[in-house]
Amino acid sequence: MTPDEMASLHARCFTMPRSWSAAEFDALLARTDVFALGDAGGFLLGRVVADEAELLTLAVAPEYRRQGRAAALLADFAETARQNGAATAFLEVAAGNDAAIALYRGAGWTEAGRRRAYYRGPDGAVADALVLTRPLA
């Protein structure tokens, strides 16, 4: 996927805090520690630094949800991160994003902490982020 395609899908999936721009995706994809997985129906970006992986974003088009696509992307993320030397992984998710939290918990992620008022939406709304982690070994 191109940065423009990623930004377009991201905008369809996220309003809180905000979607990412094509320029932001382009900058991330230019980094050597960042990897992208997926296709036009759903994608994720992750990165590995030392022995830790971070899931930066996961977006699945509404018409492809509830079909196992996100779970498959998470499995691919774990395998790619392991192959790149990561022993653990973490992510941040909006505390009110119940569907995503259920997905992550079902894939073995557990809550490690909470970042208060982490997300700020364009309308000024504020939301906490849950920090989730899971072993990859």
Domain coordinates of the chain in residue numbers?
3-135
User: Under CATH, which architecture does the 3-135 domain have?
Assistant: 3-Layer(aba) Sandwich (3.40)
- At 126, the amino acid letter reads V
* pTM, full prediction: 0.92
Q: Write the pLDDT tens digit of every residue in 112-133.
A: 999 999 988 777 888 899 999 9
Q: Which residues are known to be catalytic? A: 92, 104
Low-confidence ranges of the chain (pLDDT < 70): 16-17
pLDDT at 85 (0 to 100): 96
